[in-house]
Structure 1
Amino acid sequence: MTRKVRRFSGGVYDLGLHVVWCSKYRRPVIAGPVAERLEQLIRSKADERGWEIITVEVMPDHVHLFVKHDPKASASYVANQFKGYTSRVLREEFPHLKSRLPTLWSSSYLAASAGAVSADTVQRYIDTQWERPWKKKEEDA
């Protein structure tokens, strides 16, 4: 995947988030037409917010989502936008989801930042700032 940096008035950003959430009690209720509709809803919510879906995988009892989002959206906001919207619409469209579960999604989720470089690379870059060639030239002057 090539890196695509986005711009806004205050700077540039490239924020990726891996979000995972599960159905209540991990019940395998996300299958067939429900799974297809869930993926459509996830994509429409991302379009509405201006976020980019890199990949989405809908499993019978959980969802994996890799999304690029704007810097003003926190990880919890991103996760809750997808969970709240999809729960409301799916439970309206598929009545069996109301009868089998008190809520569609578990209250918890995983949100992990994902970038183009590893944490070790960033740490090494920061730790070696004073070793840059232009820094050594300034010290010699």
Structure 2
Amino acid sequence: MANTYTQIHLQFVFAVKYRKALILPDWEERLYQYMTGIIQHNEHKMLQINGMPDHIHLFIGMRPTQSISSLIQNVKTESSKWINDNKFTTSHFSWQEGYGAFSYSKSHVPDVIRYIQNQEIHHQKESFLDEYLKLLKAFEIEYDEKYIFKELE
């Protein structure tokens, strides 16, 4: 894209279907590497990835060559297929429908990276749902409670 200059920093948050705690420590790092490969294959830059057993945070530098929905659909489809093909879970793995996407200025990049790196510590004090609702409110995103990620089952 000649003469196209952008600086787009996006954090994505999405959950395992029914927020089941299926992402286990013995394979989560390989999942993060696989997702990073998907992001890079789509010509975006992974800035930070981390999560908990029931959800993921991706923070990327995004190029304007692809829609957000197309990228996230690709990440979720390919990663769930990879998880199932490798039989990392005893039942069928899938991501819950939907995602959060939040944009940041360059000055916020170090703070967002640190925040995502410290997910384990952060979630000792705050639940995933509280965290997600706080993001929606901070970014003044209107939402319908019935479409918020489902509670743990």
Q: Same fold by TM (over 0.5)?
A: yes
Gaps of 5+ in 1: 1-7, 119-141
- Please give the residue correspondences for 1:51-70 in structure 2 after superposition, counting only pairs within 5 Å: 51-70=44-63
Q: 1:108 maps to which residue?
A: 98
User: Percent identity between the aligned chains?
Assistant: 25
2:73 is aligned with 1:80: yes
8 Å CA contact 1:30–1:61 kept in 2: the answer is yes
Give distance in 1, aligned partners of 2:74 and 2:96: 14
Give distance in 2, aligned partners of 1:63 and 1:42: 10
Q: 1:40 is matched with which residue: 3, 28, 33?
A: 33
2:87 is aligned with 1:94: yes
Q: Which amino acid aligns with 1:72?
A: T
Give distance in 1, aligned partners of 2:77 and 2:51: 16
Q: Which amino acid aligns with 1:68?
A: G
Structure 1's consecutive aligned runs of 4 or more residues displaced over 6 angstroms after TM superposition are none
Q: 1:13 is matched with which residue: 6, 18, 41?
A: 6
Q: Which amino acid aligns with 1:115?
A: S
1:85-122 Cα shifts (integer Å, max 9, x gaps): 1011111102535x2x4x5100111112222268xxxx
Larger of the two Rg values belongs to structure = 1
SS at structure 1 position matched to 2:99: strand
Name the CA shift for 1:116/1:95 in 2 (closer, same or farther; >3 Å): closer
Per residue, is there more strand in 1 or in 2? Answer: 1
Name the CA shift for 1:110/1:36 in 2 (closer, same or farther; >3 Å): same
Name the CA shift for 1:74/1:115 in 2 (closer, same or farther; >3 Å): farther
1:17-44 Cα shifts (integer Å, max 9, x gaps): 1100100110000012331221011111
Gaps of 5+ in 2: 109-153
